[in-house]
Chain A
Amino acid sequence: SQKIEQNSEALNIQEGKTATLTCNYTNYSPAYLQWYRQDPGRGPVFLLLIRENEKEKRKERLKVTFDTTLKQSLFHITASQPADSATYLCALPPSSSSNTGKLIFGQGTTLQVKP
């Protein structure tokens, strides 16, 4: 079955720097991948969706890349701010069939941006 690996160690960076979070997956390459943000005590909030034919996607200060050869997605936050501190989850379908409607989530990486 598909396995998602996100760095379990918290990422601490200084305000203004670029944060880069990694999502690695095993087995098959998914047709798409999503990134979510989760604040303590809250539900995850969708950030970006990237499909297999898209190498890169941007939204304001966020950038996501999708490398199907490396089986990896990178999530970048440029000019990071303390308000960006949260846990970031990547999610993708559990099988090569993209129409199941299911998403499996990584454990998430906690980002701490220090002022």
Chain B
Amino acid sequence: DAGVIQSPRHEVTEMGQEVTLRCKPISGHDYLFWYRQTMMRGLELLIYFNNNVPIDDSGMPEDRFSAKMPNASFSTLKIQPSEPRDSAVYFCASSLTEAYTGELFFGEGSRLTVL
């Protein structure tokens, strides 16, 4: 399996623009997680899905952020409008079971820079 695939790997945009990050989880994994990593705050969970249904979005910073999972093989994280403070590395991860029984498989991340 190719692992968790994220795109784009790098995105540079200007404040106010819409940003869409994409993720393809490992086939057969029921759980999908979106994390954000910054030097100041470390790795933060934004939202996670189980069987394509959002379970907990309490980590989503504000209404400018939205995430969807239209099917088992694809998820998007959208920021509209983007702001400089959104600059971070966004990771998608998937797992076969809940985290307490198994590992998370992370993608390589999408590095977002908002100017």
Nearest CB to that of A33 among chain B residues? B100
- Judge if A34 is at the interface, Cβ distance under 8 Å: yes
* Size category, B interface: 20 to 34
Please choose the segment from B14-22, B62-70, B73-81, B105-113 that sits at the chain A interface, where 4 or more of its residues have CB less than 8 A away: B105-113
How distant is B37 from chain A, measured CB to nearest CB, in Å? 9
Decide: A107 and B106 in contact? CB cutoff 8 A. no
Task: Chain B residues near A34: list those with CB within 8 A.
Answer: 99, 103-104
Chain B residues near A103: list those with CB within 8 A: 33, 45, 99, 104
Given A41-B108, A43-B106, A45-B106, 19 further pairs, Cβ under 8 A: A31-B100, A42-B108, A42-B109, A43-B108, A46-B104, A89-B43, A100-B56, A100-B98, A101-B31, A101-B50, A101-B55, A101-B56, A102-B45, A102-B99, A103-B33, A103-B104, A104-B45, A105-B43, A107-B42
Interface residues of B (CB under 8 A from A): 4, 31, 33, 35, 42-43, 45, 48, 50, 55-56, 91, 93, 98-100, 102-109
Give residues in A with beta carbon < 8 Å to B. 31-32, 34, 36, 41-46, 49, 89, 91, 93, 98-108
Chain A residues with CB below 8 A from B100, complex form = 31-32, 93, 98-99, 101
